Amino acid sequence: MKSNILVVDDEPVARQSLSDILKLEGYNVSSVSNGQAAVEHIRTHAVDLMIVDLKMPGMDGLEVIQVTNQTSPETEIILLTAHGSIETAIQALRLRIHDYLLKPASPAQVIASVKKGLERRDKSRGSNAAVTGADSVQEVYTLKDGTMVDLSRRQIKFKSKIEHLTPAEGRLLRILMENEGKVFSHRELVLLVQGYDTSQREAPEILRPLVSRLRHKLEAFPSLSEKVVSVRGTGYLYEGG
């Protein structure tokens, strides 16, 4: 059975190009020009995989992803961004995004990413329990002292103490915990958490208040209080152990 793919991009040439590439591969492809139309399509049609542009007028790519996560959690998502300044391929990104590609992506890159996303979807469909192996997404972390970090609910528990995280705080902690020991630059974190690219000079200023709020909440939990570590002049990492 052919997989159903939705292309969401406000640029007509990019939208047509992606659609043509995927149709030639034998997929059923629909395309829309804005986030609102994408949300309506997802609500009324079965979509196996969605390719969505990050920057669109009105409802942007991250807002579309947030709604899709609620209405069609099985849909795999590839995020497109035109910001070529970020070179790191973040393969372990688990913000309910299967992959993220820099525009303009080559046909080979698009096809490879789509195939991987559909394989991942088939795996999770075939298992009623959590998927095991490389594609599993860990939602709950239990630390040595019994502290529980539930990333899906964005809450941290230790004995009778419960702390709730905002969506941005939750995204930041998820990225860091799921990539333990990996240093993320300020710019990468602004893109992944807030959804836009910024300059190397501006990024630390944008990120600092968010990191400060998250650290303040983590202070209540001994096993987490010093885990979000600042790497001078570079960015942040989550220190396990």
Residue-wise pLDDT tens digits, 127-175: 533 433 434 456 889 998 999 999 888 999 999 999 999 988 998 998 8
- Name the DSSP letter for residue 146: S
| Contact present, 30 and 41 (Cβ < 8 Å) | yes
This prediction's pTM = 0.54
Query: Which has the higher per-residue pLDDT, 184 or 132?
Result: 184
End-to-end CA distance of the chain: 46
| Contact present, 52 and 39 (Cβ < 8 Å) | no
Is the pLDDT confidence value at 95 over 80?
no
Structural domains present in the chain: 4-125 (3.40.50.2300), 140-238 (1.10.10.10)
Q: Residue 231: phi, psi to the nearest 5?
A: -105, 110
| Contact present, 34 and 55 (Cβ < 8 Å) | no
